[in-house]
Amino acid sequence: MAYKFKCVDCGDVSYSAAPLELQKFPRCEKCGGRILRVQPPMKLGEILIALGMMSSKDLKRALEVQSGMTERLVLGKLLVKLNLIGMSEVERALQIQREMMSGSHTQ
């Protein structure tokens, strides 16, 4: 199965037989923008890392905290609570996630 990718900035769609490595996202050939995986869909944490908003180390730490909670917070809120990122960054990532999955991003 091919993986599907999309540029955050220009909406250019591309396919690849191999997944992208989280730490080494290539840039869009057309506009130089960030490329995210659309299929299979990325999780919020993956998007935050891909956009350079947080490190994979911070995400791992947050997921550990989350798994130890009796009443689990959604990841976005937990990251803000741990002061790893700001609320505006979470909202931006969630917006990108919605746009990528709905396919309504400007072409």
Site residues (vs Zn ion, CB under 5 A):
7, 9-10, 12, 28, 30-31, 33
CB of 34 to Zn ion, least distance (A): 8
Nearer to Zn ion, 28 or 84 (CB): 28
β-strand partners of 4:
15, 39
User: Cβ distance 22 to 56 under 8 Å?
Assistant: yes
Task: Report the alpha-carbon distance of residue 93 to residue 30 in Å, rounded.
Answer: 22
Nearer to Zn ion, 30 or 72 (CB): 30
Nearer to Zn ion, 52 or 68 (CB): 52
20: Cβ–Cβ under 8 A, 6 or more apart, which residues?
3, 5, 26, 35, 37
CB of 35 to Zn ion, least distance (A): 7
